[in-house]
Structure 1
Amino acid sequence: MSDDEGMPRKALRTRRRVSFRRRLLRLTFYVLLLVAGIYAGGFLYFADSVASLQPPANPKADAIVVLTGGFQRIDQAVELLKTGAGRRLLISGVNPSTTGGQIRRNTQSSADLFKCCVDIGHDAMDTIGNANETANWIRNNKYRSILVVTNNYHMPRSLLELRRANPDIEFTAYPVVNSDLKSANWLTNPMVWKTILSEYAKLTIASVREALGAHRASGLRTDGGE
């Protein structure tokens, strides 16, 4: 005779419920452990991928767009414009309080260059806004190919959003290399680790949203952020 056969029905039902809960908790733990492992592996792959990104040797496109976030990016984009990598430059996501004159002086560029060939975009509030602001600029100028300048760790998400907003446009990545990622012990630097982890989380969310075809905000001030 088994133990279950000698037990009252109520006690048997209680025992089975406890056993089921234990199995469910154990399964949940293993699933969470698997998800955490996949996420950690994906993070390390992402970090290695962006650390390996290099600018093209001979960049050339109809025009250039730089996504703001530091003058290192803008300096690089202006230099590309000067060398003829593109006919025109959009600086997307500039703070409304920052003028074109201030940017020109910080990049030590000529007034003639900014007057003829540089557009300042103040509408974008985030990366999605950058993509939509760039899309409007591309349509107005009828460009077909764009050189994208931003930090290497920001490049994958930038290209994802830009291609979603501009599916028929050819985008070429021109990453501004973060020297901290070249170091073999970058994981021991809390600031770098936090930046890369945050960007990976944002890319994951953007990728899931893209896969589901979910609605997204415009990221533009002119739309009230809706």
Structure 2
Amino acid sequence: MAVHPRRARFLRAFRRLLLLAVLGGLLWTGGLFWFAASIPRTPPPPGSAEATRGTDAIVVLTGGSGRLSTGLELLADGRARKLFVSGVYEGLEVQELLKRSRQFPGEMECCITLGYSADSTIGNAYETADWLREQGFTSMRLVTANYHMMRSLLEFRMVIPEVDVVPHPVASPNVHLNDWWLWPGTANLLMTEYNKYIVTRLRYTLEKLIES
């Protein structure tokens, strides 16, 4: 029995769309596994060049466990002259920061600046850029969650390409990167972060094309 030409065209178009959807899904899935494998599992080893390298400032992006304490420890160790905390909100995290800053020697509280205007990673980059330029700083150590680092570096590279950024990823005990697909919470977090990274990478690539 002959198939109606219009139905035949529809079936061909449907098969093409289905094939593209399958290929797109495979590409996205492969990229997700690459993204998860690229996340550093541990911070820079003590004594390594990356860990001991000094910068003008330490910048902490709020939003995850361990970031603020890591930033304070780096400042106390003399890794930078000042600490900037971007994306601060009024709550327990800030109170803990101010309380802990008074426990370190050398009146460390005077070397800490809090930024209240950022509510996203893009906002973090712009808020930090304004502060760095105001201070005349040209290098910084970026402290954020390990799964958030790749996207953060891209955002900062777009906003302040002239600043030397040293990554200092922080591993959260609640994010299970080994066999992450077996942990629903971690899997959902990584998928969300991977999608945001794709969007940021597209923006970065587009900006580079426009500049060239």
Coarse TM-score class (shorter-chain normalised):
0.7 to 0.9
Provide the aligned C-alpha RMSD in A: 2.5
Note closer, same or farther for the CA distance 1:183–1:138 as it changes in structure 2 (3 Å cut).
closer
Report the number of matched residues: 202
SS at match of 1:172: strand
CA contact (8 A) 2:87 2:118 kept: yes
The superposition leaves residues 119-175 of structure 1 with CA deviations (integer Å, 9 ceiling, x where unpaired) of 011111111110000000110011111100000000011111111110111111000
Between structure 1 and structure 2, the one with the greater Rg is: 1
Residue 192 of structure 2: aligned partner = 198
Tell me, in whole angstroms, the C-alpha distance in 1 between the residues paired with 2:101 and 2:35: 31
Note closer, same or farther for the CA distance 1:59–1:182 as it changes in structure 2 (3 Å cut).
farther
Residue 126 of structure 2: aligned partner = 132
Structure 2 unmatched ranges of 5 or more: 45-49, 208-212
CA contact (8 A) 2:86 2:128 kept: yes
The superposition leaves residues 70-90 of structure 1 with CA deviations (integer Å, 9 ceiling, x where unpaired) of 351000011000101111110
Note closer, same or farther for the CA distance 1:108–1:192 as it changes in structure 2 (3 Å cut).
farther
Give the Å deviation of 1:21. 1.0
Q: Check if 1:113 corresponds to 2:108.
A: yes
Tell me, in whole angstroms, the C-alpha distance in 1 between the residues paired with 2:113 and 2:79: 16
Tell me, in whole angstroms, the C-alpha distance in 1 between the residues paired with 2:22 and 2:65: 41
> Percentage identity across aligned positions?
33
SS at match of 2:39: helix
Superposition map of 1:213-224 within 5 A: 213=207
TM-score under structure 1 normalisation? Answer: 0.81
Residue 47 of structure 2: aligned partner = none
TM-score under structure 2 normalisation? Answer: 0.86
Superposition map of 1:87-166 within 5 A: 87-96=81-90, 102-106=96-100, 109-110=103-104, 112-115=107-110, 117-166=111-160
Structure 1 unmatched ranges of 5 or more: 5-13, 214-226
The superposition leaves residues 176-203 of structure 1 with CA deviations (integer Å, 9 ceiling, x where unpaired) of 0234666532211111111111111111
Q: 2:142 corresponds to which letter in structure 1?
A: V
Tell me, in whole angstroms, the C-alpha distance in 1 between the residues paired with 2:77 and 2:187: 34
Give the Å deviation of 1:33. 0.6
Q: 2:108 corresponds to which letter in structure 1?
A: L
Residue 24 of structure 2: aligned partner = 35
Q: Check if 1:59 corresponds to 2:53.
A: yes
